[in-house]
Chains A and B, each alone.
Chain A
Amino acid sequence: MTSLLRLDNIHKSFGETSVLSGISMDVSHGEVVALIGASGSGKSTLLRCINLLEQIDDGQIWLSGDDITDPRANPDAIRARIGVVFQQFNLFPHLSVLHNITLSLIQVKKMKKSAARDHAHQLLAHVGLGDKANWYPDRLSGGQQQRVALARAIACKPEVLLLDEITSALDPELVDEVLELVRTLKEEGTTIIMATHEMAFARDVADRVFFISGGVIAEGGPAVDVLQNPQDARTQAFLQRFRGQ
């Protein structure tokens, strides 16, 4: 079977600064992949490239066999097939929790209002926020907001879900509720690519881990191998610093 998402030799630079210099990976259906690496190593940039928020300088990206880096493709249609959750939640402050979720269902998926509402209520119950449908995002805690953001991202049933350090802006006691939800999504078969600093979580939930350094994948493989028995000197040094904390 072909892979769900395939990156081939991705290059991206900002002006003179090369951020990604030849990243390739295959992600199969239902797999959870964790990207680790120092701040500024290009994890977020890679996710933004996959979602076509950044235009890559070279290489190709395939989603379910479609070359999404082809300039003839409609980027909006492709983005609708990819869910993204940001570090800062990025909920729409002028819309209630329910309308944050129904927005894309109604506007992009052309769902009937009542059907979208029902679907959103189901999703909210699923993320444990069934009673907060009519609240506005600023009344919710960070963890609750991030759960709404996850519900919003999966509402349109994306083929792959990109999580960009979704717990980095949360208080430590709120991290678990979000990670618990990600674990549930994995069990339901969601394909996930996540940039993360949560090494323990990556080891528990990710099938494979890629360590990105200097714009390339320094080391990649099954989570346990990379995180517990790293072969590359840079990976070892990076993980050492984490254990030291």
Chain B
Amino acid sequence: MSSRQEPRRASSIELERRAFRKKQNSKSVAISFISTLAFAFVLWFFVVNTPGWELVQRSFFNLEVLRGAWPRVIEGLWLNVRVLFFAALGVLILALVLATIRTLRGPVFFPLRALAAGYTDLFRGLPLIIVLYIVGFGIPGLGALPRMPLEFWGTVALILTYSAYVSEVFRAGIESVHPSQRLAARSLGLGYSKTLRLVVLPQAIRKVTPALMNDFIAMQKDVGLISVLGAVDAVRAAQIETAQAFNFTPYVLAGLLFVLLALPMIRLTDWYSSRLRVREQAGSVV
């Protein structure tokens, strides 16, 4: 029974337990700190003492080259961000359509289902880089469409490939919603599509959100592959700078920038997953 009370004073036993837990906690924090430090030192010591370290340091971690490459690489990264935005949007829409088609029942829809299944088979099997070449050089080669910038075709290729993966994630989510939910919705008189839209999909999307976010992070770095088409994104810009300075530091810079770009999303995914877990466990300690 819920009843609000005056704050109660903890017994000496409880206070002692809390003190012990607190001490244990600080102890494990200290241990993890020390072990991290020790590990970092060993790694640093090993790397610095390799025979080629001097040379590697000069050609990969050169501050001057980094400063020089910065404007171009950051400009390239902005292109990556824009491509990422449109690709993510396109993937969400196309994947949802594909997943819905694949869960349609009824013999009438067989051709659609088969098409969607064939699509996901094809594009999950095909390496992204080959899709990029075929779409980026093949489609403009037809000469039937107006000239589009290279990054446009890069975005299309990303959407084509990632939709295949993400639609499978959606489909798994849709199928993981218990059939009783469908029955309940249909028993209320909701039709097939309303059941899907108002009852099944909201639950499915909640379940697969961590997996979706993970795919988004994967796409975030694959955006860098549009450079193979010649679009001047962060990777391409780094390549140009590298060729000019005879130094690999621009690549390291581009890599670091990609990591920074992904970090917020990675943390967000972790936070969301742990929140889901806490909710399902309802406060229990195991």
A interface residue numbers (CB < 8 A to B): 9, 11, 14, 16-19, 21, 38, 40-42, 48, 52-55, 57-60, 69-72, 213-215
Residues of chain A within 8 A of B49, CB atoms compared: none
Can you offer 20 A-B residue contacts whose CB atoms are under 8 A? A9-B11, A11-B8, A16-B4, A17-B2, A18-B4, A19-B1, A21-B8, A38-B1, A40-B2, A52-B285, A53-B286, A54-B284, A57-B10, A57-B14, A59-B11, A69-B17, A70-B17, A213-B1, A214-B3, A215-B1
A58-B14, A59-B14, A60-B13 known, 9 other contacts, Cβ within 8 Å: A19-B2, A38-B1, A52-B285, A53-B284, A53-B286, A54-B284, A58-B8, A70-B17, A71-B24
| Complex CA–CA separation, A214 to B3 (angstroms) | 7
Q: Tell me whether A18 and B286 are in contact (CB under 8 A).
A: no
For A59, the chain B residues whose CB sits under 8 A away are: 11, 14
Q: From residue 6 to 51 of chain B, which have CB atoms closer than 8 A to chain A?
A: 8, 10-11, 13-14, 17, 20-21, 24
Given A41-B1, A214-B3, A72 and B20 touching (CB < 8 A)? yes
A18 and B284 form a contact (CB under 8 A):
no
B285 touches A54 (CB 8 A): yes
Is B5 among interface residues, defined by CB-CB distance under 8 A? yes
Which residues of chain B have C-beta atoms less than 8 A from A70's C-beta? 17
Complex CA–CA separation, A42 to B286 (angstroms): 19
What separation, in Å, do the CA atoms of A234 and B185 have in the docked complex? 41
- Residue of A with least CB distance to B20: A71
In the complex where A38-B1, A71-B21 touch, is A58 in contact with B10 (Cβ < 8 A)? yes
Mostly helix, strand, loop or mixed at chain A's interface? loop
The 5 nearest A-B residue pairs measured at CB: A58-B14, A214-B1, A17-B2, A71-B20, A53-B284
* A11, A17, A48, A58: residue with the most chain B Cβ atoms closer than 10 Å: A58
Q: Which residues of A contact B14 (CB under 8 A)?
A: 57-59
Give CA–CA (A16, B14) in the complex, Å.
18
B11 contacts across to A, CB distance below 8 A:
9, 58-59
B263-286 residues with Cβ-Cβ distance < 8 A to A are: 283-286
Select from chain A the residue with minimum beta-carbon distance to B17: A71
Kindly provide the distance from the CB of B86 to the nearest chain A CB, expressed in whole angstroms: 42
Chain B residues within 8 Å of A215, by CB: 1, 3
Q: Which residue of A lies closest to B285 (CB)?
A: A55
Whether the pair A18, B20 counts as a contact (CB closer than 8 A) is no
Residues of B within 8 A of A72 (CB): 20
What chain A residues lie within 8 Å of B283 (beta carbons)?
14, 54
Query: Which chain A residues lie closer than 8 Å to B286 at the CB level?
Result: 53
Closest CB in chain A relative to B59 CB, distance in Å: 53
Task: List the A residue with the shortest CB-CB distance to B21.
Answer: A71
Most buried by A among B1, B5, B10, B11: B1
What residues of chain B lie closer than 8 Å to A60, measured between beta carbons? Answer: 13
- CA separation between A85 and B11, bound complex, in Å? 32
* Complex alpha-carbon distance, A48 and B286, angstroms: 11
Please state if B17 and A40 are interface contacts (CB–CB under 8 Å). no
* A40 lies within 8 A of B1 (CB): yes
Nearest-CB distance from B265 to chain A (Å)? 31
A40 and B3 alpha carbons, distance in the complex (Å):
12
Which chain B residues numbered 37 to 73 have a C-beta less than 8 Å away from chain A? Answer: none
Chain A residues with CB under 8 Å of B20's CB are 71-72
Cα separation A19 to B13 with both chains bound (whole Å): 20
Q: B residues within 8 A CB of A69?
A: 17
Nearest CB of B to A83, in Å: 16
Residues in B with CB closer than 8 Å to A53 are: 284-286
CA distance A215 to B284 in the complex (A): 19
Inside 8 A of B24's CB, which chain A residues have their CB? Answer: 71
Q: How far is the CA of A59 from the CA of B10 in the complex (A)?
A: 9
Give A16 to B21 CA distance when docked, in angstroms: 22
Set of chain B residues within 8 Å of A55, measured between Cβ atoms: 285
Give Cα distance in the complex from A213 to B2, angstroms: 10
- B284 → chain A, closest Cβ, in Å? 5
Q: Please name all residues of chain A whose beta carbon is closer than 8 Å to the beta carbon of B4 when the two chains form the complex.
A: 16-18
Q: Which residues of B contact A58 (CB under 8 A)?
A: 8, 10-11, 13-14
